[in-house]
Amino acid sequence: MTNSKHNNFDIVVIGGGPAGYVAAIRAAQLGARIALVEERDLGGTCLNRGCIPSKALIKCAELLAIPSAAKRFGIAFAEPKVDIDRVRAHKDRVVKQLVSGVETLMQANNIQVFAGHGRLASANEVQVTSDDQTTELQADKIVLASGSVPLELPIPGADGDKIVTSDEAVDLLGPPEALVIVGAGYVGCEFAGIYSAFGTQITIIEMLDRVVPAEDPEASDLLARALKKSGVQINCEAKVVNISDVQGRKRIEYEQAGEVQPVEADLILMAAGRRAYTEELGLDELGINTDRGRIQVDEMLQTNIPGIYAVGDCLRGAGLAHLASHEGIVAVQNALGEVGQVNYDAVPGCIFTHPEIASVGVKEHEVQARGLDVTVGKFPFSALGKATAIGEREGFVKLIAEAGSNRVIGGTIVGPAATELIAEITLAVETGLTLDEVAETIHSHPTLSEAVGEAALAGLGRAIHLPPT
């Protein structure tokens, strides 16, 4: 074992995912000398095992649907054939290219990367352990960006074989004949779409009363209908109580409406969420405040120990890559004397299912509980020219605005390109735009973005392409 104390930095970042590597780049832009510590792969879960590989697989699944959809347009294709090895190669190629891009960015910004496990030795020292070598880094400030790991449920038999999490689901050797997905959040529903497209029989088991339960109920209903149409069986208000092996397969028993029901599958995907990964960081020894393993910070993203900041999934468990990146930028700006803040009321969420779902800010079903007086403007894609032309008429755009001021405080989109269109509503929420200002903005025709302008007009009671109510 070797020790070295000649490594002195302005900021040491622990974790090379979207929160950590973005924080490192922003700090370097501000002239700081930066070290980045990563024990696995640059890009973290998002790039290597989450957002990026799953979206590569989603694209493959979308291509499989083209022949069937094309028939409605009078175009015929031969029945598609899946070469799972080439599908996996595409996913691996995308990940490799983007990881290489992050490595290049580290070099271009003169960020020194240390491979190994980072641990706080003091408020100004990080110990990096890799194999039999230990390196000690001195830092004026430290940013913790250790990310998250899949949540393990206390279900009897859940530690057996043929049980995977989202981390492994992107690397399956081939689609199983039958798959049970435990959890109907965005991860569970995205993988249901992927593997049902590849011919797998999917059963979803969800404890709450609907799929993607954090979203607008209308969005949940549309997605549930689409999943069921593709052959996915959905069991809500159901709880898995036991997992066992039966003749080479997995037997899942779940309780629903007071009765225990069995279902068999070749594989089980545990998609019930993630938890903050903060083990072996030295938090307790330094007295850093945590809540159920999640690091606690103030509005500056600083912990109770001055000079130590935390960002991303280690704050909340399940998280969003874009929020983690923004927090990384804000944290280092605050650490280096710049002004930085996060508007948590303007964080978009995206679900890459079919139909896509995206939302930001206040959702309609939250209004009553929050005691808000609002105006709702809703416009269906079925009334939009571009959506009709491309055969994507399912879904809607919904805007939530404060009554009186008409200031946009939230919105939900379900349908084609929802994850792209949400950017306009996010900008409206962030900058305090009103329904009038969104409506007065000229939207290109024919485009899907017109639905956002029409939703604003609907909220004002003067929608052009909807009949009077």
The CATH number for 365's domain is: 3.30.390.30
Q: Specify if 65 maps to a domain.
A: yes
Report the alpha-carbon distance of residue 231 to residue 213 in Å, rounded: 20
Give 167's contacts (C-beta < 8 A, 6+ positions apart).
45, 49, 50, 149, 150
Q: Are residues 266 and 299 in the same domain?
A: no
Q: What is the pTM of this model?
A: 0.94
**Residues 4-11, mean pLDDT to the nearest whole number:** 78
Residue 168 is part of a domain; what is its CATH number?
Answer: 3.50.50.60
Q: Judge contact between 137 and 4, C-beta under 8 A.
A: no
Residue carrying structure tokens 């998002």: 46
Q: Are residues 38 and 113 in the same domain?
A: yes
Q: Are residues 131 and 280 in the same domain?
A: yes
Q: Are residues 44 and 142 in the same domain?
A: yes
Q: Helix crossing, 51-64 with 186-197: angle to 10°?
A: 40
pLDDT confidence of residue 160: 87
Q: Specify if 155 maps to a domain.
A: no
Report the alpha-carbon distance of residue 28 to residue 13 in Å, rounded: 12
Q: Are residues 380 and 394 in the same domain?
A: yes
Q: Specify if 248 maps to a domain.
A: yes
Confidence of residue 3 (pLDDT cuts 50, 70, 90): very low
Q: Residue 243: name the closest of 162, 302, 156 by CA.
A: 156
Q: Model confidence over 420-433: pLDDT tens digits?
A: 999 999 999 999 99
Q: Judge contact between 330 and 340, C-beta under 8 A.
A: yes
Q: Are residues 143 and 172 in the same domain?
A: no
Q: Are residues 204 and 97 in the same domain?
A: no
273 Cα distance to chain centroid: 11
Q: Model confidence over 64-77: pLDDT tens digits?
A: 999 999 999 999 99
Q: Specify if 465 maps to a domain.
A: no
Q: Are residues 119 and 41 in the same domain?
A: yes
Q: Which residues are catalytic?
A: 445
pLDDT confidence of residue 120: 97
Confidence of residue 1 (pLDDT cuts 50, 70, 90): very low
Q: Are residues 352 and 326 in the same domain?
A: no
Res. 351: pLDDT tops 60: yes
Report the alpha-carbon distance of residue 355 to residue 404 in Å, rounded: 33
Question: Residue 286, class by beta-carbon neighbours within 10 Å (0-12 exposed, 13-18 middle, 19+ buried)?
Answer: middle
Q: Specify if 469 maps to a domain.
A: no
Q: Are residues 63 and 37 in the same domain?
A: yes
pLDDT confidence of residue 6: 57
Last residue of a domain, one of 302, 324, 342: 342
Report the alpha-carbon distance of residue 453 to residue 123 in Å, rounded: 51
pLDDT confidence of residue 319: 80
Buried b (16+ CB within 10 A) or exposed e, 413-438: bbbbbbbebbebbbebbbeebbbeeb
pLDDT confidence of residue 4: 46
Q: Judge contact between 223 and 414, C-beta under 8 A.
A: yes
Last residue of a domain, one of 342, 366, 382: 342
pLDDT confidence of residue 468: 87
Q: Are residues 15 and 108 in the same domain?
A: yes
Q: Specify if 206 maps to a domain.
A: yes
Q: What is the mean pLDDT of the chain?
A: 95
Q: Model confidence over 365-408: pLDDT tens digits?
A: 999 999 999 999 999 999 999 999 999 999 999 999 999 999 99
pLDDT confidence of residue 178: 97
Q: Model confidence over 157-183: pLDDT tens digits?
A: 998 899 999 999 998 778 999 999 999
Last residue of a domain, one of 312, 342, 372: 342
Q: Are residues 454 and 374 in the same domain?
A: yes
pLDDT confidence of residue 172: 76
Instruction: Determine the structural domain holding residue 407 and report its residue range.
Output: 346-459
Q: Specify if 70 maps to a domain.
A: yes
Our count of domains for the chain comes to 3
Tell me the HSE value of 131 on the side-chain side, using a 13 A CA sphere: 4
pLDDT confidence of residue 377: 98
Res. 5: pLDDT tops 80: no
pLDDT confidence of residue 277: 94
Q: Specify if 468 maps to a domain.
A: no
